[in-house]
Amino acid sequence: MTEKNTRQLRWDQRYRAKLFVAPEPAFVLSGNQHLLTSGNALEIASGFGGNALFLAENNYRVDAFDYSEVAMQKLSDYASSHSLALSTATVDLEKISLPSEHYDLIIGSYYLQRELFSQLLSALKPGGLFFYQTFSGHCVDGAGPENPDFRLKPGELLTICSGHSILYYREDDGSCQGDTCFNGEAMIVAQRD
């Protein structure tokens, strides 16, 4: 069995074992809902598609991409039964080639593939919105990956999105206290100029 098949099998087993329940969208999206309009959207590494479903319920035609065929089938079935404008595709994001200036909105959450950022930003139409939220800095309270290669460096999202208008940015370093903290996470909304 190839590495790809082993990796895909692992993700398929993970999603096969889970009952489909529509997940909540990432805070970067739900907390900035006032920026949403309509158009074509893409969610990468969508899993069960909390962000994709949220966007489809808010007037977007959504493409949801994930490596797990099982997750994409469960999400597709749910979207179809709720008459949502959402299409799914089983995609290896390490080998994807996105069309230039195609999407009005792109979102990624809790998935980090640094080589993909320039392609995601290029896939936005002028004026398009990029929403992103994932782990950063040091692991706080055991949340997220321990390996620093899978966590953003402090301020990295600002560097990635330089040259674009920053509409929202937040990075909690672990010292935040209270229910509204996202310790060990960073999030951004950037608009393509």
Q: Which CATH number characterizes residue 106's domain?
A: 3.40.50.150
Neighbours of 123 (CB within 10 A): 21
Q: How many domains does the structure of the chain reveal?
A: 1
pLDDT over threshold 70, residue 10? yes
pLDDT for the residue numbered 147: 83
CA–CA dist 31, 74 (Å, integer): 26
Dihedral, CA of residue 148, residue 158, residue 130 and residue 7, to nearest 10: -10
Whole-number percent of the chain with pLDDT over 90: 73
CA distances from 13 to 6, 23, 28, 68, 187 (A): 10, 18, 28, 9, 29
Please tell me the predicted confidence (pLDDT) of residue 175: 60
CA–CA separation, 30 and 57 (whole Å): 12
Phi first, then psi, for residue 38 (nearest 5°) are -170, 175
The residues, ordered by sequence, that sit 6+ positions from 22 with a Cβ below 8 Å of its Cβ are: 48, 49, 50, 53, 78
Structural domain range at position 125:
3-191
The fraction of the chain above a pLDDT of 70, given in percent, is 90
Rounded to 5 degrees, what are φ and ψ at 158? -65, -40
How far apart (Å, rounded) are the C-alpha atoms in residues 69 and 188? 29
Q: What is the mean pLDDT of residues 91-115?
A: 96
Tell me whether residue 176 is exposed, middle or buried, using C-beta atoms within 10 angstroms of its C-beta: 0 to 12, 13 to 18, 19 or more: middle
Q: Does residue 4 have a pLDDT over 60?
A: no
Which pLDDT does position 137 carry in this prediction?
Answer: 78
The predicted model scores a pTM of 0.91
Mean pLDDT of the chain: 91
Distance (Å, whole) CA 37 – CA 71? 27
Q: Is the pLDDT of residue 166 over 90?
A: yes
